[in-house]
Amino acid sequence: GPLSQRPLMEVRLGELHTWLSTCNFSPQRLLGAVQKAWSSYCAKYMHVRRGGPAGISMLLAGYCLLSYGWNYQHLKRHRWRKYH
Amino acid sequence: MLSRLVLRAAPAALRALPPPVAVGVLHTTRPLHTTQQSLAPVPPLPEKGGEVRHGLIPEEFFQFLYPKTGVTGPYMLGTGLLLYLLSKEIYVINHETAAAACILAVIVYGIKKFGADVAAFADKLNEEKVATALAMKNEAIQTLQTAIEEEKKEQWRAEGRNYLFDAKRNNIAMLLETNYRERLLMVYNEVKKRLDYQVAMQNLKRQKEQDYMIQWVEKNVVQSITPQQQKESIAKCILDLKALSKSAHAAV
């Protein structure tokens, strides 16, 4: 279909720029997009009959990565070598 | 009566009111439940969630890389990425790395050993919840079924209403007949009483007249008997008695 109506997953890498320019970034739309993403994640990995550790473990892993990224400037000081 | 006038005037007054406000301002005229979509019945939960490999990476990533790099592609990518991060020290190895390794080891061991049991326990809890809800639903359905049967039975019972009405009509007819006969009897008794009264009055009158006349006649007769006549009659009686005694003597 047309570029502006396609969801993010079906946009090719080269068209990403144009796709970003088409959608309007109002706070309500952003909030709606965040809500939709969260609910689809929940529906896919958490609200199932026989789930596994996958639902929470991915969230925790993402949290670990995010906190590593936030503290990167501080962790950079504990490098073992000066030149890589 | 005035209230009836007010009630009659009310619909006319309501019709005279201005039409409701435009639809956009007030949502009172919005139609409800017109779409096909509805919240019930809720679709059941899917059996298994999205596939995740090693608990961290969704299967879609592996499928995404499969056409170009085959099965080992993502692993090669992971190894290369890891070596790059380590060698450039974008990921710094410090005390936290050791702590993270230990924690991860414990978590993985725990999940591998107790995962199945915890899952079975949680499943059992869910089963109980679902079973209670299902039981309630079945019970509700059962009660409604019995209510339907009862209703049908009542409808069947109502078909016999003709017999009931006939019996009632008979009862009423009997009551009317009884009442009629009672009143007939009462009328007869009353009339008889009045007639008896008339008859008694006549009898009494005649009797009184008779008694009075007899009395009067006796009185007059007694009065008319002069002393002279009395003496004569007594003498006559004595003579008669003597004659009788003589004849009796002779007979004996």
Q: Is A12 on the interface with B (CB under 8 A)?
A: no
Q: Is A6 exposed, middle or buried (0-12, 13-18, 19+ CB in 10 A)?
A: middle
Q: Does B178 score more than 90 pLDDT? A: yes
Cα–Cα distances in angstroms (integers) from residue B39 to residues A32, B43, B130, B138, in the given order: 21, 9, 19, 21
Amino acid B21: pLDDT: 44
Q: Furthest-apart CA pair in chain A: how many Å?
A: 52
Contacts of residue A44, Cβ cutoff 8 Å, sequence gap at least 6: B49, B50
Q: Which pLDDT does position B226 carry in this prediction? A: 75
Query: pLDDT band for position B51 (50/70/90)?
Result: confident
Q: Cα B127–B132–B134 angle (5° rounding)?
A: 90
Residue B54's closest chain A neighbor by CA? A54
Of A46, A53, A61, Cβ closest to residue B111: A53
ipTM value: 0.80
Beta strands at B57-58 and B52-53: parallel, antiparallel or unpaired: antiparallel
DSSP track, B33-75: S-SS--S-SPPPPPSS---EETTTEEHHHHHHHHHHH-SSHHH
Structure tokens at A30: 């952003």
Residue of A79, A81, A82 to mutate, interface with B, max B Cβ within 10 Å: A79
Q: How confident is the model at residue B100 (pLDDT cuts 50, 70, 90)?
A: very high
Q: How far apart are CA B134 and CA B132, in angstroms?
A: 5
Q: Predicted confidence band at B53 (pLDDT cuts at 50, 70, 90)?
A: confident
Give the Cα separation of A61 and B177 in Å (integer): 99
Of B47, B49, B111, which is closest to A45 when you measure between CB atoms?
B49
Q: How confident is the model at residue B88 (pLDDT cuts 50, 70, 90)?
A: very high
Give the mutation candidate from B42, B45, B51, B52 for the A interface (greatest A CB count, under 10 A).
B52
- Exposed/middle/buried for A54, CB within 10 Å: 0-12, 13-18, 19+? buried
B225-235 per-position pLDDT tens digit: 777 888 898 99
* Alpha-carbon dihedral sign for residues B82, B96, A46, B109: positive
Q: Assign B17 a pLDDT band (cuts: 50, 70, 90).
A: low
DSSP string, A22-74: HS---HHHHHHHHHHHHHHHIIIIISSSS--THHHHHHHHHHHHHHHHHTHHH
A84/B88 touch (CB, cutoff 8 Å), yes or no: yes
B33: left (phi over 0), alpha (psi -120 to 50) or beta: left
Q: Higher pLDDT residue, B71 or A18?
A: B71
pLDDT over 60 at B7, yes or no? no
pLDDT at B3: 54
Cα three-residue angle B49-B53-B56, rounded to 5 degrees: 90
Using a cut of 0.80, tell me whether the model's pTM lies above it: no
Report yes or no: B34 and B42 within 8 Å, Cβ to Cβ. no
User: CB distance A53–B55 less than 8 Å?
Assistant: yes
pLDDT at position A8, please?
A: 73
Higher confidence at residue B175 or residue B33? B175
**In this predicted structure, what is the pLDDT of residue B167?**
95
pLDDT value at residue B218: 93
CA dihedral B236→B238→B239→B243, nearest 10 degrees, is 140
Q: Report whether pLDDT(B20) > 50.
A: no
**How far apart are alpha carbons A26 and A14 in whole angstroms?**
24
* Chain B positions touching chain A (beta carbons under 8 Å): 45-50, 52, 55-56, 58, 87-89, 91-94, 100, 111, 115, 119, 123, 126
CB B49 within 8 A of CB A55: yes
Backbone angles phi, psi at B52, to 5 degrees: -135, 130
Return the percentage of chain B with pLDDT > 70, whole number. Answer: 85
Set of chain A residues whose Cβ sits within 8 Å of the Cβ of B94:
75, 78
B112-163: pLDDT as tens digits: 999 899 999 988 998 999 999 999 999 999 999 999 999 999 999 998 899 9
Look at A50-54, B88-92, B202-206, B211-215 and tell me which has the smallest mean pLDDT: A50-54
Region B206-223: what's the mean pLDDT? 94
* B115 interaction partners in chain A (CB closer than 8 Å): 52-53
The proportion of chain B whose per-residue pLDDT surpasses 90, expressed as a percent, equals 62
Question: If you average pLDDT over residues B155-176, what whole number do you get?
Answer: 94
